[in-house]
Structure formats: structure tokens, C-alpha cells
Structure 1
Amino acid sequence: MTWQIIGDGAIGCLWAANLLNCGQQVHLVSRKNNIPQRINYTNLQGEEQCYPCSISQCLSDTSSPLIVCVKAPQVLQALKQYRSQISEQQVIILMHNGMGCAEQVAQLLPQNPIICATTANASLLSAPFNIVQTGLGVTYFGPFNCASRNFASLLATLNQALGNCHWCEDIEKKLWLKLLINIAINPLSAIFQISNGELSKAVFQDQIKQLIKEAMQVLKRLDLKFDEQLLLSTINGVIDATSNNYSSMNRDIFYKRPTEIEYINGYLLKKAQQLNIETPLIRKLYNEIIALESH
């Protein structure tokens, strides 16, 4: 079996390198020209390894699992581009920040098994196809639709590659937790162009508390049970653990790239609007990111 990975960014290359490292066949789909048929990988111990890897601008077959590692705004377009090469039986694993893509993919490919994933593994690209792992964390996989419930067996290989991978039948709650962490960290760090650690200052802590208070109103109406204080503690744990890092949204604004705001704050705002709940600070930060994107 070949693992096909759409997206040659930090997370796509991280999975490709680690799957290759445990002896799996990998095909990486890239939009780049002049593609080298290898990935350079530096692990957490600073050890470097070069792995031969099949890389092209097309999918390799119509049966292998697809791990989609592009950013949320690019997911639907990427799958539309390769739709004619995707069979109805092919399992699609979505791994990105934010929520809302799985619903779009299910409309595009209604017969396909769709798995949602969220990861705390961290990595960066020092150059194209040169990946440096900077953090090790848990990855949760779970079924978005009924067709994907029989694919938990894929985790044996994924665990062998990166470890700490778990199948979670209630993946929605894990996705919401990641979304809430992103709502608290990403827009503030992007608007003020600060590292995550700066968010531990009192002025930002007050805003984070307000953001979560607003989000909790929506969560309660959706019957999603989160403890507010535990949630704040989790968010501050992430801030401490990634204190020297810049969020992906921070970097997107810095490099004048589109952000994932529609799938983070925007997703919660749509839910709030459907429930007639006011979330003024979440909306304010959303509007500020949209304004920064347009400059």
C-alpha cells in the first residue's frame, strides 16, 4: 500500500518522512516544478536523514489512502483538482487547522470515507522538502461519516511512523478543543505580531478569558461539554509550551498570505449566528484579520 499525501508543507513532509522511515511507500503530491525525488528530515535529536520519495503533481493511484495536509482554505480546491483520480472507495484523511472543511468535502465526495485528524506534532520547513521536527505530540483520528468507521486499522501503521496516534469515535470534541485553542492564540498573535509566549501577559489574558466566555455560550447550546477553567488552563499550557513559536496565522499575516480565519473564528461565528448568540470579541478579531489580509 502507498500512502498518498497532498501538500508538501511542514505537516505533509513530516508525515511523509516518518512513514518512509518505517518502511512505508509514500507518494507526495506537490504543486512545485523541478521536484527532487527525496525528502531531507531532521529529527528531534538533530539527526539528519535523506529519504528517496516519489513526488509529483498528480496522484499515483485510485486506491491508496489520501492524507490531505494543505491549509483549510485550499482543501476543497485541491480535492476538486484531483477529483477525477479519486475513487469512491478511497479513504480521505483531513489534517488541518479549523473546522468546516469536512462538510465541504462530503458534499464534493459523498461516497468516500472521510476521517478527520488533529495533531500536536510540530515541524518547520528549512527549505522545500527539508523538514525539521520541532515538537512531538498526540494525534487524534476519527470518523466524520459512517463510511469511515471501519478504518481504525490504519492507525497501526500511523502509530509506527509517528507514535502517540489514537482513534477517537468522538472526534468532533477533539476538533472543537483544537479550534478553541486556535481562537484564543492565533488571531491575537497575528494582529499584534507577537510570539505565543507574549499572550501570557495580563492584557492578553483578559482577552483570552473573554473569547472563551463568548465561545462557551455557543458550546452550551450545541451541547458540547467543556469546563471553562480547564479550557483556559489547557490554552495557557499550549502558550507556555510554544512560548518561542509564532502561530501559523501570525506567519501568514507576516508573509501576506491568506489565513485560515474563516475556518477558525469564522466557523464559530456561523454557529453563533445560527443560534442568535452575540460574540463581539470573536467577531472583532475576525474582522481585524480580514482587514489585515486585504492589505
Structure 2
Amino acid sequence: MKIALVGAGAVGCYYGAMLALAGHQMLLIGRPAFVEAVRAQGLILEKAGQRIVAQVEATTDPAAVAGADWVLVCVKSGDTEQASREIAPHLSAHSHVLSLQNGISNAATLTKILARPVMPVAVYVASRMNGVGVVRHEGRGDLALSGQHAAEIATVLNAAGIQTQVSDDVMGALWTKLVINCAINPLSAITGLPYGEMVAQDGIPQLMEDVAREAISVAQAEGVTVPDSVFETIRSIMVAMPGQFSSTAQDLMQGKRTEIDYLNGEIVRRAAKHGMDVPINRTLTLLVKSAERRGGQKPL
């Protein structure tokens, strides 16, 4: 199977490597430095104490999606519109497009611009780039998806060692993940701490819960039910991955733009539609954006 992947970051590289190692023809579309490194050394996956080289193709050209059976979109949420416009003229009629992204609105954005159904996928993986063309797996890696052809796609992913379930309510899963990210990501970024050290700070566990409750109130206003188990999930992540920095923290450390507008910022925007106030989520959004403006090299 030919699979094209748009957005060769930590998430995309992890799943790209897993699919390539399962024997699929993988084409990753990324930045020039990434393409150069992968063409020279392959895509390197560090997982379970092993360093594995996955043979993939790499290019900077969005037109390379032509002929792909699947197109996996893994770009940052802020780049979704641009990426979709770049690939739209080149997609084959038979291509299945999947959104493996944070946030709750990316699949809708892709669907509108590409004028075809796009499958939203809830992604649960901790990974980070450990050098150009080197992705390090830190934990989990499972997916949840729904929609037409979901069972067929899940079968292929499971065969590649990517635990995948077909969900009756993937948007509910995406909202639950959004609540979790809102509680964890900005605080790791602002403190500059990995999860274990962050949660050991006085008051942080309660603050995380308060952030989550604000986000859940907005989900309810949107007609979405987030299970109470989300609080235990947040606590368990702190225990399971004590050395992990959130993706927002990693972006700040690398001087990159974060996805905060599509995490806590999404909660702020949707709350405003319902005449609701979410002061904690608004404050965290503003603090992370302030850190972005000054380069984010040091914690606030």
C-alpha cells in the first residue's frame, strides 16, 4: 500500500516509521533538512531500547501525494489550511484522507477545502524528535477512528503494530483528548518542567483539574459528553510518563509556534460563542502566546 504523510514531525514520523517497518510504501512530506537527513540515513525510530532504521521516501513537494492510497495529515493545526490547499490539486480520487492532529476542528477544515470526507483520528502517543530524521517513542501509540472504511483502515493499522479501535464517537474522544491537553500542555510549557516534576509542584494538580472543568463545561455547552474518567486519565499520564514534556513545551523550547490557539484557545473561542467565561484557559493561552513572542527559550 502506498501511504503519503504530510507533516513529518514527532507524531507523523512515529506512525510513518511503524507503517514502513510493516512493509508499506511510505512517503513523508517535510522540510528540506528532514528530507536530506532521511535520504541519507533513513528514518530512525528509537523505541523500547532499540534504534531501528525505517526505509521511507521523503520529499518537500506536496504533489507527491498523487497516487497514494492513504494520505495522513499530521501538520500542526495552524498549518492545516495551507497544507490542505497544497495537496488538494494532487489527491487521487481513491485516496483516503486521515487527520492525525491535535484539536477538534482539523478534519472539518480539511473536508471543506478538499471537498471530500476526511476521517478524524484521535491520536494517543508520546513521541519527540531526537535529532533531524530521528524520532523517539516515549509511550502509547494507539489510535481511535470512525467513519466510512474505518474497519478496513483499522485492520491495516493493527497489523502494523499500531493499536487501533473503531469508535462510535470519535469526536467525543477528540474532545476528551482536548480537555486532557488543555490541562497538561500549557502548564508543562509555562513551568518548563516534565510531567513528574510539574505535578509535584504545590497546587498544580488542583489547577489542572480546574482547567479541565472549565473545558468540560464548554464541551457540555457544545452538546458533547466528556466522561468523569478524564480526571483519572490526567493523573495517570503524570505517573506513566514523568519525564515527558508536553508538545507545547517542546515547541517553546525549540522556538516554534505552538498549537495553543487550537487547545486552550479553542476553549476560549467556543466559550465566547455561548456567553461563557473561562478565565483559567484564557490566562494560560495568553501566557503561552507571550512565551512564543519572546522565543520561549526559558520558562516564565
Task: Determine if the TM-score, normalized by the shorter chain, exceeds 0.5.
Answer: yes
Q: Does 1:50 align with 2:53?
A: yes
Which residue number corresponds to residue 259 of structure 1? 258
Equivalent residues in 2 for 1:77-96, closer than 5 Å:
77-96=82-101
**Gaps spanning 5+ residues in structure 1: where?**
144-148
How far off its partner does 1:234 sit?
Answer: 1.4
Return the alpha-carbon distance in structure 2 between the equivalents of residues 24 and 83 of structure 1: 23
> Would the alpha carbon gap of residues 159 and 213 (structure 1) be closer, same or farther in structure 2, given more than 3 Å must change?
same
TM-superposed CA distance for 1:51, in Å, is: 2.9
Residue by residue over 1:183-228, the C-alpha shift from the partner in whole angstroms, topping out at 9 and shown as x without a partner, is: 0001111112111122243411221222122223222222322344
SS at match of 1:67: strand
Deviations 1:26-65 (A, max 9, x none): 1111221535432222331x23332322211221424421
Q: C-alpha distance in 1, partners of 2:125/2:247?
A: 14
Distance 1:208 1:41, change over 3 A: closer
Q: Distance in 2 between matches of 1:213 and 1:36?
A: 43
**SS at the partner of 2:283?**
helix
Task: Note if contact 2:18-2:162 (Cα within 8 Å) is conserved in structure 1.
Answer: no
Query: How is 1:56-75 mapped onto 2 (pairs within 5 angstroms)?
Result: 56-58=59-61, 59-75=64-80
Correspondences of 1:13-52 after superposition (within 5 Å): 13-32=13-32, 34-37=36-39, 38-44=42-48, 46-52=49-55
Preserved contact between residue 75 and residue 101 of structure 1 (Cα < 8 Å): yes
Residue 114 of structure 1: aligned partner: 118
1:90: how far off?
2.4
TM-score relative to the length of structure 1: 0.90
Percent identity between the aligned chains?
24
Distance 1:201 1:281 in 2: 18
- C-alpha deviation, 1:177, in angstroms: 0.9
Residue 160 of structure 2 is aligned to residue 161 of structure 1: yes
Moved over 4 A (4+): none
Give the aligned residue type for 1:182: N
Q: TM-score, normalised by structure 2?
A: 0.89
Question: How many matched pairs?
Answer: 287
Q: Distance in 1 between matches of 2:51 and 2:280?
A: 44
- For the 8 Å contact 1:140–1:168, the answer to whether it is kept is yes
